[in-house]
Amino acid sequence: MGCNAERVAEVLRAGGATVAEHKAELIDLDRAIGDADHGENLDRGFAAVLAALDGGLPETPGAVLKVAATTLISKVGGAAGPLYGTAFLRAATTLGDASELDAAAVATGLRAALDGVVARGKAEVGDATMVDALAPAVEAAERAQADGGDPAAVLAAAAGAAKEGADSTVPLTARKGRASYLGERSVGHADPGATSTALVLGAFAEAAR
């Protein structure tokens, strides 16, 4: 039932495919309240992650996530770079050199990812950022794991909560990142980073089924 390095790489590839597919949508969301580069940034980063994984598969899930982290940090070029990068890096570090991930490890990895994003960006729930998707996702994942869910169930719970969390940013005033310069004018728009977080987690969950 556990996920080995190969499965984790597959899950990441699914995330990359989803980002590529929704690139234009993410760009449009970022055009409304930012600088129209979120889709471009993330797609550049995930394409590089996939290329890196094609070049050779590391041995452990943690090592796969670390390749993703360092590649995203180097290639994304916007706020999503340090934020997604730190998320993957913290998850990788927490998972150590385990060869397979069980449900508890998936939940722990997600928690570490959230802690990393918060440490890096200092955003709280309600600031209309990717934290609004990731924080409820982590809580849902932990509940699913406590209820005896397998890794796929944990990711499915995370994905569902992330989607709701992303939608919850629509009525909010952005308080972090570029959109915060708009103040009240950011109300009425979904946050691009929260939306991409929900999309990526959705793809992870789908691929893990």
Partner 1 sequence: MSGELVGLVVVSHSGRLADGVAEVAAQMAPDVTVTPAGGLPDGGVGTDFEAVLAAVTEAATGAGAVVLYDLGSAQMTAEMAVESLPEPDAAVIVDAPLVEGAIAAAVSAQGGGDRSAVADAARAAAGRPEVADTADAAGSGAAASSGAAADSGAAAASDGAAGARAEITLANEVGLHARPAALLARSIADLDADVRVSLGATDADAKSVFSLMSLTARKGDTVVVTATGAQAEDAVARVTALAERNFDE
Ligand X SMILES: Nc1ncnc2c1ncn2[C@@H]1O[C@H](COP(=O)(O)OP(=O)(O)OP(=O)(O)O)[C@@H](O)[C@H]1O
121 makes contact with partner 1 (CB under 8 A): yes
Which of 34, 62, 85, 149 is the binder for Mg ion (CB under 5 A)? Answer: 34
Task: State which amino acid sits at residue 8.
Answer: V
User: Phi then psi for 65, rounded to 5 degrees?
Assistant: -65, -30
Beta bridge partners of 3: 101
Residue 74 touches which member of Mg ion, partner 1, ligand X, none, C-beta under 5-8 Å by kind: partner 1
Q: Closer to partner 1 at the Cβ: 61 or 193?
A: 193
Could you tell me which of 134, 133, 114, 9 has the C-alpha nearest to residue 66?
A: 9
34: its two tokens: 């930012």
Residue 151: both structure tokens together? 């890794």
Query: Among residues 194, 201, 205, 208, which is the contact residue for ligand X, using CB under 6 A?
Result: 194
Count helices and strands (H / E) in the chain: 9, 0
Q: What residue ranges bind partner 1 (CB under 8 A)?
A: 35, 37, 41, 73-74, 77-83, 85-86, 120-121, 177-178
Q: What residue ranges bind ligand X (CB under 6 A)?
A: 30, 34-35, 37-38, 41, 78-80, 83, 117, 121-123, 129-131, 176-178, 191-194
Q: What residue ranges bind Mg ion (CB under 5 A)?
A: 30, 34-35, 37-38, 78
